[in-house]
Amino acid sequence: MQQHNSLYRVYRPNAFKDVAGHQNIVEILTFELKNNNFDHAYLFAGQRGTGKTSVARILAKGINCLDLQNGDSCNACANCQTFNNNQFPDIYEIDAASNNGVDEIRNIKNNVQTLPIIGQYKVYIIDEVHMLSKAAFNALLKTLEEPPKHVVFILATTEYDKIPQTIISRCQTFNFKRISNQDLTARIDFIAHEEGYHLSQEAARQIYAISEGSLRDALNDLEQLMVVAYDSKKIDIEEVKTLFYIATKAEKLAIIHQILNHESQEVISYFEHSRQQGMDFNLLTLALIKMIKEIIEYQLTLDQSFLTELNVEDAMAFKTIPLNDLFLITDNLTQAYIKTKNTTAGFDYILLSVLKTIQTMDSQLSSGRSQAVVTKKVVLNPKQKEASDEIVSSPSTPDNQQIKVDQEPLRENLTTAELSEKEETSKTLSVDEYSEIINQSQPNPSKKINLNPLTKTTQSLEALIDHQHQLIEVSLNEPKINYLIDDLINVLMGVVQEENPTLRHELNDKLQKIFETNQANELISSDEAYQLSAFYGAKIAAANRSEIIITTDNFISANLINLSLVKPEISAALFKVLKDKYVVYGVSASMWKETKTTFADLKQKNFLPEYTQINFDNFYTANEKKATSHQLEQSQELLDKAAQLFDLTDVNFGDK
């Protein structure tokens, strides 16, 4: 039976041009060989699997090559051929882990005095040199400082801090950092292709994450995946997840969303389930930190080149999230990773760190911070279907009058952005100047709310999402139109009374059709979609012939819908799509869930109220008054604060 060679041995580079990464090191060594000006002692330091020994072997071969090609070994001369066959007598590879005594070093001291057999130089490669004993280092010191002219030492170590300074000062030191994502994934993709396999980009990135920049570890992982994918010859993210149980991109995004949305229960469930499956939580923590780093970079620069794990749509979903919230998550995760790396407490401490972050955000929210939104939905388990949540029937209601509604992921009480007001106390205003400010800020009772759609620039769905985010930002400073659970229960009573279970689905299909796209991801009805962009991502959860409940991820998106419907042109556009006029309640997913729970409880106790049909005109007139009165209150509050600030409380501006 033929012995199997591992991939890292089969594809070990034979020349500098084949080395993955370390471009600066390769350039320096190539220049030294090209000019025949190499040093007598080198120290290669860096983490495991980054190519220290491979580069040492290439350097040793280049030193004795008879026909260097622009500073790189030719792999064709007699010396190169002998070396490639592991038969070159003048190159010695010594493992200091098993030859770490003073006697072994004394043997080297004695042997260096003899001339090379066939090459120009004797080269001693001492791997894991930090394992040498103190006496061995002392024995090596003098020889390393002044070796014979025909001797070169190449020391390699993974623990640079254990090397005595007296040794370091006598060597030319090169730091082998972890191989970059781009260089490592390019190398393993090349090797996979050479072996007849197709490796997806996402799978390659996950292999890089698992290997932590070690090419040897990455090739060992690739070799295992090749066994799993032997029949299909395709290695995708699912194969990586199955073999190593890592979190997919969708799952990592979901975790970040859940932290920002304060969903402790969902986070705990995922962590506990993943622990049972054997997930490496240190690796997960690093992946989350990297993902948040990309989100922050994109927020600050809008430069897509920083996005390697994420795409633009992923990053845009966090557009309204304050950077302080993202920094808080990374700070706590980083602290947890540092404290638990290589310990058995990793899972517990990392989970507690995440819950601590959520608790901190909750405290900040309760102290009066304004609220921002993560508007993108991410399903934690892509294979798991969203379950239907059916309101349980009771003796007071026949079984055929049950109301079936879709349970949506909760996105309530999300992250917040602190709004600060800068007071220019050093500036003195005259009464006339102050009067001008007051006049400019004086509200017009007949003025509609300032929530106009922004200018459309493109027909793509991505641009529509960005447009919706801009509307959300505008709505943060607008009035809040909220509804009571009693209002929603009344709608459900109308649903029960009418017994038309298909109506909701028909209306929801009409709503979703607004945002249909073609194969180029362009909106088919772009004008209509932009006009109704506040409704993108919303869902009709319940409907009777005169009223509709529309649910969104969070209460701010729901408020945007309610504010938009105050504008006649927006409501007219929606009713044109739905083919009829409706009283529309925009509510958050969490309020909808609470409504269903309350409805089921009242039904079980036989306390459900009678249905009362709501007057269409009165409903929207009341909402418009809410918005206008809220603006008047805000403006009056502004006037009062300004008067106090400039000590003008006794000045009469003609309003009395």
Q: Is the pLDDT of residue 632 over 50?
A: no
Determine what percent of the chain is predicted with pLDDT higher than 70.
Answer: 80
Quick one: 145 and 236 in the same domain? Answer: no
User: How far is 218 from 206, CA to CA, in rounded Å?
Assistant: 10
**In the chain, what's the furthest Cα-to-Cα distance?**
109
Q: Supply the pLDDT for residue 604.
A: 83
Count of C-beta atoms within a 10 Å radius of residue 313: 13
Quick one: 73 and 208 in the same domain? Answer: no
- Return the higher-pLDDT residue of 240 and 160: 160
Nearest residue to 594 (alpha-carbon basis) of 415, 405, 414, 378: 405
Quick one: 462 and 359 in the same domain? Answer: no
Query: Per residue in 199-247, pLDDT tens?
Result: 888 788 878 877 777 888 888 888 888 887 877 888 887 777 777 777 7
Q: Supply the pLDDT for residue 490.
A: 93
User: How far is 485 from 598, CA to CA, in rounded Å?
Assistant: 8
Nearest residue to 41 (alpha-carbon basis) of 60, 67, 25, 26: 60
Mean pLDDT of 580-603: 89
Q: How confident is the model at residue 118 (pLDDT cuts 50, 70, 90)?
A: confident
Domain membership of residue 68 (yes or no) is: yes
Give the CATH number of the domain where residue 94 resides: 3.40.50.300
User: How far is 491 from 489, CA to CA, in rounded Å?
Assistant: 5
* 578 Cβ contact list (under 8 Å, min separation 6): 507, 510, 511, 548
* 95, β-bridge pairs: 127
User: How far is 51 from 224, CA to CA, in rounded Å?
Assistant: 21
* 499 Cβ contact list (under 8 Å, min separation 6): 400, 401
Domain membership of residue 152 (yes or no) is: yes
Q: Supply the pLDDT for residue 310.
A: 81
Quick one: 470 and 551 in the same domain? Answer: yes
Q: Write the single-letter amino acid at 210.
A: I
* 460 Cβ contact list (under 8 Å, min separation 6): 521, 522, 523
Where are the alpha helices (H) located in 229-377, listed in sequence order?
237-244, 249-260, 264-277, 281-301, 312-316, 323-340, 346-366
For the CA atoms of the chain, what is the radius of gyration? 34
Domain boundary among 195, 211, 244: 244
Domain membership of residue 547 (yes or no) is: yes
Strand residue runs (E) in 440-546: 539-543
Quick one: 447 and 479 in the same domain? Answer: yes
* 143: containing domain: 7-176
User: How far is 168 from 217, CA to CA, in rounded Å?
Assistant: 28
Q: Supply the pLDDT for residue 84.
A: 86
User: How far is 184 from 208, CA to CA, in rounded Å?
Assistant: 7
Domain membership of residue 412 (yes or no) is: no
What is the chain's mean pLDDT, rounded? Answer: 78
Q: Supply the pLDDT for residue 365.
A: 66
Q: Supply the pLDDT for residue 135.
A: 86
Query: Per residue in 289-312, pLDDT tens?
Result: 988 998 998 888 888 878 877 888
If one counts the domains in the chain, the total is 4
Quick one: 160 and 198 in the same domain? Answer: no
- Of 189-203, 251-265, 415-429, minimum mean pLDDT range: 415-429
Quick one: 538 and 558 in the same domain? Answer: yes
Mean pLDDT of 469-492: 84
Query: Per residue in 352-364, pLDDT tens?
Result: 888 888 888 877 6
Domain membership of residue 283 (yes or no) is: yes
Give the CATH number of the domain where residue 367 resides: 1.20.272.10
Q: Is the pLDDT of residue 578 over 90?
A: yes
Quick one: 297 and 336 in the same domain? Answer: yes
Question: Considering the entire predicted model, what is its pTM?
Answer: 0.47
Domain boundary among 203, 225, 244: 244
Domain boundary among 126, 149, 176: 176
Quick one: 214 and 267 in the same domain? Answer: no
Quick one: 147 and 234 in the same domain? Answer: no
**Helix orientation angle between 281-301 and 201-211, rounded to the nearest 10 degrees:** 120
Query: Per residue in 414-450, pLDDT tens?
Result: 333 333 333 333 334 443 443 343 344 333 433 344 4
Find out whether 139 and 106 touch, Cβ atoms under 8 Å: yes
Domain membership of residue 382 (yes or no) is: no
Q: Supply the pLDDT for residue 544.
A: 93
Domain membership of residue 25 (yes or no) is: yes
- Return the higher-pLDDT residue of 421 and 340: 340
Domain membership of residue 305 (yes or no) is: yes
Q: Rounded to 5 degrees, what are φ and ψ at 198?
A: -105, 125
Quick one: 521 and 542 in the same domain? Answer: yes
Give the CATH number of the domain where residue 211 resides: 1.10.8.60
Q: Supply the pLDDT for residue 323.
A: 85
Q: Rounded to 5 degrees, what are φ and ψ at 651?
A: -80, 135
Output the 3-class SS for 349-371.
Answer: HHHHHHHHHHHHHHHHHHCCCEE
Output the 3-class SS for 425-460.
Answer: CCCCCCHHHHHHHHHHHCCCCCCCCCCCCCCCCCCE
Q: Supply the pLDDT for residue 520.
A: 77
Quick one: 483 and 596 in the same domain? Answer: yes
